[in-house]
Amino acid sequence: MPKTFARHWPYPRLIAHRGAGKLAPENTLTAMRVGHAHGYRMVEFDVKLSADGVAFLLHDATLGRTTNGRGRADARGWRELSQIDAGGWHSAQYAGEPIPTLAAIARFARTHGTACNIEIKPTPGRERETGAAVALDAAWLWREAEVPPLLSSYSEEALAAAQDAAPGLPRALLLDTLPADWLQRLERLACVALDAHHKALTHALVGAAHDAGLRVLCFTPNDPERVAELGAWGVDGIITDAIDHIPADSLPPAPPLPGA
């Protein structure tokens, strides 16, 4: 599957980080709407599990930074989490914005023609459980969709569980720095793409990934000149906060892989 899927890459080149970068409260339905209003047709966001197994959007393992809640996010059931304010921390205009479920984001994305990069963000200790549950939910929520969501994670355990649970969904391995065996890790997990910090990439490395039949994504360049440079290198997906400074159509579609 990886080489076949990567050859027919269906995703936009520019991707809104956590929905709308920093313009709206991250990982909320409002952020997805703001990203869409800026012309972005692909969004990246983080998903973890509640205590009772509901897949919902949140970056951190704890609630304090981006909500008015406190403590471990996975210690709360969904009924309690759904009452938490996930917008007031950002600005007064977003006070009362709720934490969304993955199901709510799927409904929005499919209705508005928005592709999704779902980062599986397990609370420590729940890697395999989260990887499997998010993959199963995504497979159901995007059933018969023309463009499936791309699953990504720093956790190789979570990605392996996602592979077992929903092998038909494409996957990418997230890396801040690239170890010597990065290609072997991607191949072991049957990933379609490398998703690396943009500072870890070189033109040669992007070429090596393409030669191996893989696509390359990166995060989170916010300088238009750097984004243009990465585009010139052939990076296939660029996740950015600067959706108000980098037009969604400022790069051409990703080029075909060598030999495709």
pLDDT in tens, 144-189: 999 999 999 999 999 999 999 999 999 999 999 999 999 999 999 9
Known catalytic residue at 17: yes
Query: Which residues of the chain have a pLDDT value below 70?
Result: 1-2, 260
> Which token pair is 234?
């052939």
> Tens digit of pLDDT for each residue in 217-245?
999 999 999 999 999 999 999 999 999 99
Known catalytic residue at 59: yes
> For the domain with range 2-60+105-240, which CATH number is right: 3.30.930.10, 3.30.360.10, 3.20.20.190, 1.10.150.120?
3.20.20.190
Domain boundaries, the chain: 2-60+105-240
Choosing from 8, 36, 38, 59, the catalytic residue is 59
| pLDDT of res. 158 | 98
Strand pairing category for 55-57 and 42-49: antiparallel
| pLDDT of res. 3 | 72
Residues of the chain above pLDDT 70, percent: 99
Name the CA dihedral angle for 216, 198, 45, 63, rounded to a multiple of 10 degrees.
Answer: 150
User: Rg for the chain (alpha carbons), in Å?
Assistant: 17
| pLDDT of res. 2 | 62
Which of 171, 140, 166, 170 has its CA nearest to residue 155? 171
| pLDDT of res. 198 | 98
Q: How far apart are CA 18 and CA 35, in angstroms?
A: 9
Which of 154, 196, 52, 206 has its CA nearest to residue 162? 154
Which of 127, 119, 144 has its CA nearest to residue 19? 119
Choosing from 17, 36, 198, 210, the catalytic residue is 17
